[in-house]
Amino acid sequence: MHTLSQLKSGELSGIRHLTLSENLTSFPLEILSLADSLEILDLSNNQLTSLPKEVIQLQNLKIFFASNNHFETVPEALGQCRNLEMVGFKSNKINHVPENSLPAKLRWLILTDNQISALPDSLGERPRLQKLALAGNRLTHLPQTLAQSTNLELVRISANQLVECPDQLLSLPKLAWFAFSGNPFSQSDVNIQSVPEMPSTSFTLQDVLGQGASGVISKAQWNHHQVLFPDDIAVKEFKGEVTSDGYPKDELQACLKVGNHPNLVKSVAQVKEDGYLALIMSLIPPHYKNLGLPPCFQSCTRDTFPLGFSLSIEQIDKIVTQMEEVFIHLHVNQVCHGDLYAHNALFDDEANLIVGDFGAATMYHMLNEKQQAQIKQIEHRALHHFIDDLLSVCADDDKLSKQFIRLKQKITHC
């Protein structure tokens, strides 16, 4: 985090990444003095409503964030930033996206949690577009031009007003991660009770284990001994608002529809109270660790791994077999995980796998037969990317093994 006084004093001269959050109501023109070096500009958590046309002077700018501001329109000046690849306006008041506001090199667009009812045709005319986050808007349709987005790999359209399944997305050759719950076309009247309901007074939360877009997971203990449930439990408390993946209630329903599988986090009970939604799960043993890390700016849609991390081909083969079984189980139950990634999986030293995080999951039994097959094919690409990412961290000595070659051939035609 930087300060406005540092910027004005010239102390930040030559920096590549600037973050300013000081309740700004106007764009500090001193930022333009960084035009020769600035590549990432983060003006999130301010009170901005517009950008000056002079922002086009930032010709080295690659990434622009302005989440949690008061923009009502995506500024057209951004469309003239010749090297701008990533644009983020999460949680503003945007209701208008002008045709000329999207830069030519756009690769990653985040417009989550706004008031957008329509998008310009120019969105589908950005050939480098890979990642598109549109959850939590008022979209009733998507541009037909998105059928041209042959490099689009990840799409979030949950929690909108789409009345028809956007078929122009389903045939895209690279789409692999797709979340679309919480729309009229994906509404389901099923109320899944695969696990019993429990009151929130039945447990006490302890240490926070982790948190994501849709909620916080904590270790918990029962307030009274439970005969039917495991002693060691964790509780995911869902946030009430829309997230980058959609509505928490849709995540809960999809998670319950999937049911139990040896390689999925086991759900044991649910809490449904006014203003409080939670899922009670078996506690994952502490010797499990994250299999991967989320994508970075450079990888965009693909997982990353810690420096020096590697797996033997035997470990990879075992992990892949388990993930393939999870994939089959998900789609037998007509649920698309939407976020099938190594960073949403845990493993132990014996290469036992546990998959979690159903924030982007969507039930798809309401779609027609062709659409269902396309949804499964989309997620099959994600499975192949999962395998490819693991092979990228395979121990060097194993890269000529028959197992490595077999797995590589499996994903050749992804």
d(CA 337, CA 381): 12
Distances (CA, A) of 304 to 16, 343, 346: 22, 8, 14
Beta bridge partners of 86: 63, 108
CB 360 within 8 A of CB 378: no
What is the DSSP track for 9-28?
HTTTTT-SEEEB-S--SS--
> What DSSP state is assigned to residue 289?
E
Beta bridge partners of 40: 17, 63
d(CA 108, CA 63): 9
C-alpha closest to that of 117 among 156, 160, 172: 160
Beta bridge partners of 63: 40, 86
d(CA 148, CA 338): 22
Which helix H or strand E contains 282, and what residues bound it? strand 276-282
Structure tokens at 154: 């990840």
d(CA 357, CA 75): 34
d(CA 230, CA 335): 26
Within 10 Å of residue 147's Cβ, how many Cβ atoms?
Answer: 17
Distances (CA, A) of 220 to 141, 203, 233, 280, 394: 43, 6, 6, 9, 36
Q: Is 236 annotated as a binding residue?
A: yes
Which positions make up the binding site?
Answer: 236
Q: Which residues are annotated as a binding site for ATP?
A: 236
